[in-house]
Amino acid sequence: MRRVHWKLSAKQDDLMVRLEEHPWDPSSTLIVDTRTAAHFGDGPRGSLEWAVSAVASVAALLTEGRHRVAILSPSGVVHQSGRAVGESAKRAMIESLTDLTASDIDWLGEAVADPEAMGSSAAVIAVTGLLKPSDAAALVAASARARKLIALVPDADAWGGAPHPEHDKACRLLLGHGWTVERYRPGETVPLVWERVSR
């Protein structure tokens, strides 16, 4: 079905149709990096706990905005809301993340290896630990059709340890392919980091 552009039709003396933009697709894929080796620290103050909390917060925000949400990890699909939206979808998502466990998998690309799980999301948001260029390349390849690309990555210097040139190179690769990359530091709240993304 096409809409007739009546004003233009009158001017052209010929039937003209409107060129419609693609309808808004309220679907988002979130990637939570559960690779033990990619994270700093342990327990509630570690970067893995920060990443899981960030995914829960962002997914809750999107679900309230009536987005369909899929959450993926290197171990597979964590949660898919399907057509469910609102409070019940939010509760189901939080329950799924409560059961999440750390993984010994080495490559973040395992999270996006299944094209069906990725679907055709309008937005892809990844909350990661330390990245290698191969991790970044997998994210870039899997999200080529998404319109909004966001990566929340650890500020490796702030979390301590040796320099991480591979992580910096991976971040540059994401930036070079249209991703918004925001670094999170120990002790920072998720809303504070997300506010920097939204500016």
113 pLDDT higher than 60: yes
pLDDT in the model for residue 33 = 98
Indicate the pTM of the whole model.
Answer: 0.86
pLDDT, tens digit (0-9, with 9 covering 90-100), for 165-177:
999 999 999 999 9
pLDDT in the model for residue 133 = 98
Report the DSSP pairing between strands 123-127 and 148-154.
Answer: parallel
| SS3 call for 144 | coil
- Cα-Cα-Cα-Cα dihedral sign, residues 194, 73, 52, 70: positive
Give the sheet arrangement for strand 180-184, strand by strand: 76-80, 68-73, 27-32, 123-127, 148-154, 180-184
Can you give the residue ranges of every domain in the chain?
Answer: 23-198
1 pLDDT higher than 50: no
pLDDT, tens digit (0-9, with 9 covering 90-100), for 29-70:
999 999 999 999 999 999 999 999 999 999 999 888 778 899
Q: What is the DSSP string of 49-103?
A: HHHHHHHHHHHHHHHHTT-EEEEEETTEEEEE-TT--SHHHHHHHHHHHHT---B
Query: Looking at domain 23-198, which of 3.40.50.410, 3.40.225.10, 3.30.2350.10, 3.40.50.20 is its CATH number?
Result: 3.40.50.410
